[in-house]
Amino acid sequence: MDFQDCALTCKKEFHCGICKRGFSRNGDLTRHMKIHTGEKPFKCDVCKRSFSRNGDLTIHMRIHTGEKLFKCDICKQGFITIGNLTTHMRIHTGEKPFKCDVCKRSFSRNDNLTIHMRIHTGEKPFKCDICKKGFITNSNLTTHMRIHIGEMPFKCDVCKRSFTRSGDLTRHMRIHTGEKPFKCDVCKQSFSRNGVLNGHMRIHTGEKPFKCDVCKRSFSRNGNLTIHMRIHTGEKPFKCDICKQGFITNSNLTTHMRIHTGEKSFKCDVCKRSFTRNGDLTRHMRIHTGEKPFKCGVCNRSFSLNSNLTTHIKIHIGENPFKCDI
């Protein structure tokens, strides 16, 4: 009788005194007990790592020898274990047998599903010893630790800028190469990052999943919601070093700094007048073009500025907010 037949038919006479699990063979029980005792009698001569089972040591040794016994028939890639080959084959077949019960997303590997489930449960088992921040994966914690130690092992060969993560360097390199591998299927616009494409797609779908809990205004991007919330909280994290004025966004601070430097980088091609902000130039250009994009819904009169339309509307509604005190 082979092992599989025995597993199905043999009586499980040997039971673990700790967890009560049953085994058909005493040798299986002996190996199982090492889980409870922590005994690891099989040691690697190369790296000194220990294992509870000789079979695990045999598989581990292939890391050092480079032996990959199990080959993919399609792409010829080799693997240390049959389990790794089985998982790899799902790349070719598209099989994703591990499904999330919450959002129905599927995965080719069970461990990827386990990690994914932490998004729903909020579990963050890997904690930073310095700032106590938690992470879903150990690799995320490892990357985070570089913030504290200042390690930036990934360096750009062009501008020598360094990064804590390989993915950040990959995205950065697209600035130099101009590569935009993520293309919108609707308008064909291309983007350097997939996250930017996802945000862009909401322009076409109208989706605004990020909602303000205070005023209920919705946004297509989480970053826009974060900036918006500063209106309610009064937070102005970007400070002018000269006059100490605070701003909600870094771009607003950049624009403000031109007041101090006198920089006016936006120039009118018609009259050569310069402006500190692009929006000011856009509004100025309407003087030359005659464009009046803001139309009154009552009398159809048009205006070049939205603020002028707002003032005009008060004529129709009878609002007179400015009163003479005399």
**Whether residue 110 has pLDDT greater than 70:** yes
- With a cut of 80, say whether residue 108 has pLDDT above it: yes
pLDDT for 5 beyond 60:
no
Residue-averaged pLDDT of the chain = 89
Q: Flag whether pLDDT at 299 surpasses 60.
A: yes
DSSP states of 29-95 as a string?
HHHHHHHHH----EE-TTT--EESSHHHHHHHHHHHH----EE-TTT--EESSHHHHHHHHHHHH--
For residue 183, pLDDT beyond 90: yes
Does the pLDDT of residue 1 top 80, yes or no?
no
Q: How do residues 19-59 score in pLDDT, each as one tens digit?
A: 888 888 888 888 888 888 888 888 999 999 988 888 888 98
Higher-confidence residue of 277 and 121: namely: 121
Give the span between the Cα atoms of 275 and 268, in whole angstroms: 8
Asked whether 235 and 241 are in contact (CB, 8 A), the reply is no
Residue from 168, 173, 174, 116 nearest 146 by CA:
168
Mean of pLDDT values over 117-134: 93
Task: Say if residues 283 and 306 touch (Cβ distance below 8 Å).
Answer: no
Lookup: tokens for 94: 């598209």
Which carries the bigger pLDDT value, residue 10 or residue 243?
243
Backbone dihedral angles phi then psi of residue 114, each to the nearest 5 degrees: -60, -45
Q: Give the pLDDT mean for 63-85.
A: 91
pLDDT grade for 10, boundaries at 50, 70 and 90: low
Cα–Cα nearest to 97, from 85, 112, 83:
112
Map tokens 């205004």 to a residue.
217
CA-to-CA dists, residue 138 to 109, 145, 167, 308, angstroms: 17, 11, 16, 57
Asked if 91 and 84 touch (Cβ cutoff 8 Å), the reply is: no
pLDDT at position 3: 42
Calculate mean pLDDT across residues 168-178: 92
Distance CA 280, CA 269 (A): 14
Sign of the dihedral through C-alpha 24, 28, 30, 34: negative
CA distance 313 to 296: 7
pLDDT of the residue at 65 = 92
Count of beta carbons in the 10 Å neighbourhood of residue 10? 13
Residues in the chain: 326
Q: What is the mean pLDDT of residues 84-95?
A: 90
pLDDT(194) > 50: yes
Q: Tell me if 227 sits within 8 A of 247, measured CB to CB.
A: no
10-14, 104-108, 223-227, range with the lowest pLDDT: 10-14
Is pLDDT at 111 greater than 70 in this prediction?
yes
Q: What is the pLDDT of residue 35?
A: 82
pLDDT at residue 269 greater than cutoff 60: yes
Q: Are 78 and 64 in contact (CB under 8 A)?
A: no
For residue 235, what pLDDT band results from cuts at 50, 70 and 90? Answer: very high
> What pLDDT score does 38 carry?
81
Give the whole-angstrom CA distance, residue 181 versus residue 258.
35
Distance CA 44, CA 57 (A): 7
Q: Is the separation of the CB atoms in 108 and 91 below 8 Å?
A: yes
Cα four-point dihedral sign 312, 316, 320, 321: negative
101-109 average pLDDT score: 91
Strand bridging mode 246-247 / 266-267: unpaired
Quote the CA–CA distance of 156 and 169 in Å, as a whole number.
Answer: 7
Here the tokens at position 154 are 């990934």
Tokens encoding 269: 């091609």
Q: pTM (2 decimals)?
A: 0.43
Indicate whether 2 pLDDT > 50. no
